[in-house]
Amino acid sequence: MTTPAGGPPRDGSGNPLDDLGNPVSVPAVVRRVVSLVPSLTESVAASAPELLVGATDWCSHPPGLAVTRVRGTKNPDLAAVRALAPDLVCANAEENREVDLAALRAAGLAVWVTAPTTVPESLRSLDRLLRLGCRLPRPAWLDAAERIWSEPHRGPRRRAVIPIWRRPWMAVGRDTFTGDVLARLGVDNVLGGSAQRYPRVDPATLPPHDLVVLPDEPYAFSPSDGPESFAAPAVCVSGRLLTWYGPSLVRARAELTAALGGAVAGP
């Protein structure tokens, strides 16, 4: 691996490296992109919508996106992806299975994998994906998101549990983008020291906390499904604002701050 002065890391052939350090042979001009991650789909669409030719069934933003659907993040239709002949496939280390990505690479496709676990990492990751992977100029929305999230939190801090599933109950643990987003809003994850990133939990035996944050994805928590299981005040928030990194980061700080300020008491 080499790092040109002032430039990003590249392999011996000059290919840029993705977040996992894999060299990606990106053509000089990128005209066709398939995204296997909803937040990356939104990022490419907000920057150069004409590039997108395929996305997952879960890629809901922007609304009305008219591209070929290639099933889900965990079970993509690999034949459909290959048939689209993309110049680049956008993926994520957590959302997508390595066995699927390896199969796409074996078919001769360029696959770029992102893997950020903090807000600053996500901004750097998106910059590299869009500029080096998609051959695009840095978008203005990314500059706006960087400015918004550069401001430190000022004020009191709270301690929260962030469930992501029930039956069985699971919650956000260590080293997650979601945990970092909340920490930058003054909300510390009481399970942040867990040995697992998404541990199973028992609502009756959680560490001391004064807030429960319930996103509407991957489990669709709602005011009538989730808060009743906890004694601490609970607030339902948009999973897109809490877990996606992309253009949603421009709005996420203000909207999450407003939502978290509206927690209601549990039973």
CATH number at residue 104: 3.40.50.1980
In-domain check, residue 128? yes
* Domain range for 166: 158-260
Report the C-alpha gap between 79 and 83 in whole angstroms: 6
Residue 8, pLDDT above cutoff 60? no
Last residue of a domain, one of 117, 147, 177: 147
At residue 261, the pLDDT reads: 85
Residues 135 and 169 both lie in one domain: no
Percent of the chain at pLDDT above 70? 93
Which pLDDT score is estimated for 265? 39
Q: Tell me whether residue 19 is in a domain.
A: no
**Counting runs of H as helices and runs of E as strands, what totals does the chain give?**
8, 11
In a domain, 139, yes or no: yes
Domain's final residue, options 147, 170, 204? 147
Answer yes or no: is 215 within a domain.
yes
103 in any annotated domain: yes
Q: Are residues 138 and 215 in the same domain?
A: no
**Per-residue b/e over 22-45, b at no fewer than 16 CB within 10 Å?**
ebbebeeebebbbbbbbbbbbbbb
Quote the tokens at residue 15. Answer: 């290919």
The one-letter amino acid code at 81 reads V
* pLDDT more than 90, % of the chain: 91
> Within a domain: residue 15?
no
In a domain, 216, yes or no: yes
Mean pLDDT of 179-194: 97
Classify residue 119: in a domain, yes or no.
yes
Residues 99 and 137 in one domain: yes
- How far apart are the C-alpha atoms of 227 and 262, rounded to whole Å? 13
d(CA 53, CA 241): 25
**232-261 pLDDT tens trace:** 999 999 999 999 999 999 999 999 999 998
Q: How many domains does the chain have?
A: 2
Name 66's Cβ contacts closer than 8 Å, sequence gap at least 6.
none
Alpha-helical regions (H) of the chain: 38-47, 78-83, 98-106, 119-128, 140-149, 177-183, 239-243, 249-260
